[in-house]
Each structure stands twice: as structure tokens, then as C-alpha cells.
């Protein structure tokens, strides 16, 4: 099993990315209101970020230091520049507060945020060939068996 901070780091990356999408969405809505234009549609990442924002803010307020709070404020003003800084803040807080790390993990699971590595194995049969990296998502189970010919073992 992975160490808690490794899991928290993957979770934090996804949550901060969603939070960034939400702050950018809020800025676009404000701009549309100022221009008296219809607001943009909220995309899936912005919706996830809207769910994550209050929990991240509360966690930083409860478990963080003054400089952590400042980093969060800077992030909300300029998410592109301060995204990495907020990730580091949340990683530090999660490393010293296991309950906060668990809360982030639970939030990521509830929001459906990809939280890390892919596990499993690949077996190719029936003269199937994979050339180069193979990526994708399998929602089910694929089972196959391949036995190397005696000369190829």
C-alpha cells in the first residue's frame, strides 16, 4: 500500500486542478456580468472545484499557518501563477494532519477526481500486438491468456 502522503499528493493535484477550473469559471461569470452577456456554462471540472473549494478553505483555515492562508488568497486571485504553491501548502498540511488528508481523499472520491495510478496487468493473445504505449479506461474486466511458443520463451 502506498504511503499516505503519496496518496494525498495525487488527490491534491486533482483537487487543486478542479479548484482552479472553478476560480476561472467564477472569473468568466463576473466578466460576463460586467459585459451584460450571458454567463458561460459550468463545466464538469468547475462543478468539482465548487464542491472542493469550501473544504480546502476550511482545511487551510483550521490546519494551516498564516502563510498558508496567504497562498490560498493569492491562488484565488491568480490560480495560474499560484496553483503549484497551493498544492505544496495542501501537501504540507496533509502530511501533518492525517484527518485532513483523509478528508481530501474522501472529497476526491465523492467528486470523481482521478486520484492516482492505474493498477493491473496486460495480457495479449491471439497474435495481438501492442506497439507503443496503450492507454485508456476499462470499466470492466478483460481476461485473456497467452502462452509463449516454445521457441520464444
d(CA 15, CA 3): 19
Please give the grid coordinates belonging to residue 129.
Answer: 500486438
Q: Model confidence at 118, in pLDDT bands (50, 70, 90)?
A: very low
pTM over 0.75: no
Residues whose CB is less than 8 angstroms from the CB of residue 140 and which lie 6 or more positions away in sequence, other chains included: none
Q: What residues have CB less than 8 Å from 19, skipping those under 6 apart?
A: 49, 52, 53, 56, 75, 79, 86
Which one-letter DSSP state was computed for residue 22?
Answer: H
What pLDDT, in 10s, does the model give residues 55-100?
999 999 999 999 999 999 999 999 999 999 999 999 999 988 888 8
Q: Kindly report the number of other CB atoms within 10 A of residue 71's CB atom.
A: 20
Amino acid at each position: 500500500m502506498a504511503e499516505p502522503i503519496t496518496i494525498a499528493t495525487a488527490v491534491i493535484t486533482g483537487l487543486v486542478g478542479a479548484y482552479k477550473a472553478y476560480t476561472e469559471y467564477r472569473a468568466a461569470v463576473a466578466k460576463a456580468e460586467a459585459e451584460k452577456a450571458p454567463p458561460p456554462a459550468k463545466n464538469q471540472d468547475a462543478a468539482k472545484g465548487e464542491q472542493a473549494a469550501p473544504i480546502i478553505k476550511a482545511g487551510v483555515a483550521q490546519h494551516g499557518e498564516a502563510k498558508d492562508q496567504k497562498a490560498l488568497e493569492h491562488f484565488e486571485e491568480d490560480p495560474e501563477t499560484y496553483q503549484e504553491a497551493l498544492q505544496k501548502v495542501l501537501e504540507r498540511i496533509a502530511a501533518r494532519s492525517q484527518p485532513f488528508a483523509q478528508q481530501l481523499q474522501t472529497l476526491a472520491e465523492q467528486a470523481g477526481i482521478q486520484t492516482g495510478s492505474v493498477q493491473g496487468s496486460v495480457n495479449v493473445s491471439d497474435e495481438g500486438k501492442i506497439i507503443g504505449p496503450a492507454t485508456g479506461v476499462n470499466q470492466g474486466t478483460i481476461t485473456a491468456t497467452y502462452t509463449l511458443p516454445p521457441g520464444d520463451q
